[in-house]
Amino acid sequence: MDKIFEYSIESAIALAILYFFYWVVLRRDTHFRNNRLVLMFSVITAMILPAVAGITSIPSASPISFAIDFSQQGVTPSAAQIEPSAPNAGMSSWEILGLIYVAGALIVLARLAYQAVYLHAVSRLSKISDHDGFKIISLDTDMVPFSYFNRIFIPAQLISKDSLESVIAHEKLHLSQGHYIDLFIVQIITVFQWFNPFIWMLEKSLKEVHEYLADESVLESGKNMGEYQAILVNEAFGGPVFILTNQLNKSLIKKRILMMKNVKTPKIAQLKALLLVPLIAALLLAFANPPLISQSGGDGITIKGNVSDRFSGTPIPGANLIIKGTTIGTITDLKGNYQIIVNNAQDVLIVSVSGYRTQELPLDKNTKINVLMEPDIIAIDFSKENKLEIFEKPAANHNTQPGSGGGFIFVEEMPAYPGGTIALHEFIHNNLNYPYEPKQAGLEGTVLVSYIIDVNGEISNPKVIRGIQQDLDAEALRVTKLIKGWKPATQGGRPVPTTVTMPIEFKIN
């Protein structure tokens, strides 16, 4: 739902900006074909621009980082201490907004469907005649002349014979120029953008341009301007107004007559439309790099608690907490405390920090969640069997502190090692050599190695960010440089550089 709202708001903003450009720069020009193209280009571009921006999102210059999870699955919610909250008596603000949005869209859609059905019913009950490939529908009702797809609707009793030819010529030009297609596209978009006043303003401007185009074509065919203007005034009687159709609308008569008399805009003025290019580029850049939202606003649910080491009980500062599938997130303070406002009791809280296993915790209407993080450590056992052991519960008095407190950012798809974490375990086990002097001295501990997996899946810039002893650090770094074949992380379908933090433990039995 968050993605739908985000797309709707961004497309509404784009439409408002593009229409404002038309209104200020092009509205008074007499290049009606150009204006029609600009309006249709604007409304279609506004709808696809946010989606394109999401696909072509520009990654940050700083590489994205994460801690390797060497477990087969995350820790279950039992690792968190959860205090239940009072049952949620009503819907959240987002759910209410969602219902209002859907209701509005259904009302607009129903209105369009009703008018389409009504026009077809009127056609079947009226006299129909062919006229140069178009169907003329003679109406017995008091309506304004209008055209709809390949049909021209004319009130038979109220159109004089002298003006009938001009009215038909006007409506035929609407049909031959495909104006009904423009209106159909705009009306479909209006179903989804009904809350946006600029879509209704754009529709009105588009109908005006359609009328100017039809008037221009009638006059270019040789019709006397004075006689034609007199017909417009005489035939501008009242009647039902249809949003699906082009009509001889009396509310536009004055504007149309004035536009006929206007001095033609110089052809070079059409180049003003090219200003749309930098405007669209700016919108694309803005939508591709939205600011990170650290907290959710509105009448959400406040979740708070503490993040600490499961075995030592030490608070973990700088732990990342984010609502799954959103950009709503926060980090813990120096005492490991956090507070976050969420929109839905069904959301899932993701808790992660370098050196610990990432947890996914369903909120389930809880308002206090104390999270106990398990260290994520590779333990190498150089016993006689020389086998690899994964320590699920390292000793609390271990001589290194697994959590670095560093932060990272989630990507849509994490980097993957061929064969998964088991294959990575085996690779490290088969290639890591315990240096002789540290082993003889009984030196144990964890070396924390960081490196970047670039867009080609290659390792670059490996370094020890927390070491034990020179020889052990060098050995951990050597093995790290041997790792090949990573599948890079992706964001928006594109590979992005990712920083990996990998703890390796040297242990002697």
- The answer to whether 210 touches 36, Cβ cutoff 8 Å, is yes
CB 501 within 8 A of CB 425: no
Count CA within 13 A, CB hemisphere, residue 415. 29
Average pLDDT of every residue of the chain:
75
CB-based contacts of 312, cutoff 8 Å, min separation 6: 396
Query: pLDDT digits over 375-402, tens only?
Result: 665 555 444 443 333 333 333 333 333 3
More confident residue, 238 or 37: 37
Average pLDDT over residues 128-156: 73
Gap between the Cα atoms of 130 and 138, Å rounded: 11
Residues in contact with 222: Cβ distance below 8 Å, sequence separation at least 6, in sequence order: none
* Packing angle of the helix pair 197-220, 179-192 (nearest 10 deg): 180
Q: What is the pLDDT of residue 54?
A: 61
How many CB atoms lie under 10 A from the CB of residue 504? 22
What is the pLDDT at residue 78?
39
Q: What is the mean pLDDT of residues 40-53?
A: 89
User: SS3 for 157?
Assistant: coil
Q: Using one digit for the tens of pLDDT, what is the confidence trace for 76-106?
A: 333 455 444 444 445 666 678 888 999 999 9
Question: Is the Cβ–Cβ distance between 451 and 480 less than 8 Å?
Answer: yes
Q: How confident is the model at residue 45 (pLDDT cuts 50, 70, 90)?
A: very high
- How does pLDDT run across 309-343, given as a tens digit for each residue? 776 678 888 888 888 888 788 888 888 899 988 88
Question: Greater confidence, 478 or 83?
Answer: 478
4 or 111, which is more confident = 111
Confidence of residue 64 (pLDDT cuts 50, 70, 90): very low
pLDDT per position as a tens digit, 220-265: 777 767 666 666 666 554 444 444 445 545 556 667 777 776 667 8
Rg of the chain on CA atoms, in Å: 34
Say what the pLDDT of residue 337 is: 92
In the chain, the amino acid numbered 20 is: F
pLDDT tens, position by position, 171-182: 788 888 888 889
- Calpha distance 10→405 (Å, rounded): 35
Query: What structural domains does the chain harbor?
Result: 2-56+91-124+158-288 (no CATH), 294-374 (2.60.40.1120), 377-509 (3.30.2420.10)
pTM assigned to the model: 0.51
Beta bridge partners of 492: none
Q: Which amino acid is at 186?
A: V
- Evaluated on CA atoms 65, 71, 75, 79, the torsion sign reads negative
Region class of 250: left (phi > 0), else alpha (psi between -120 and 50), else beta? alpha
Q: Following DSSP, what letter does each residue of 61-99 receive, concatenated?
A: SSPEEEE---SSSPPPGGGEEEEEPPP--S--HHHHHHH
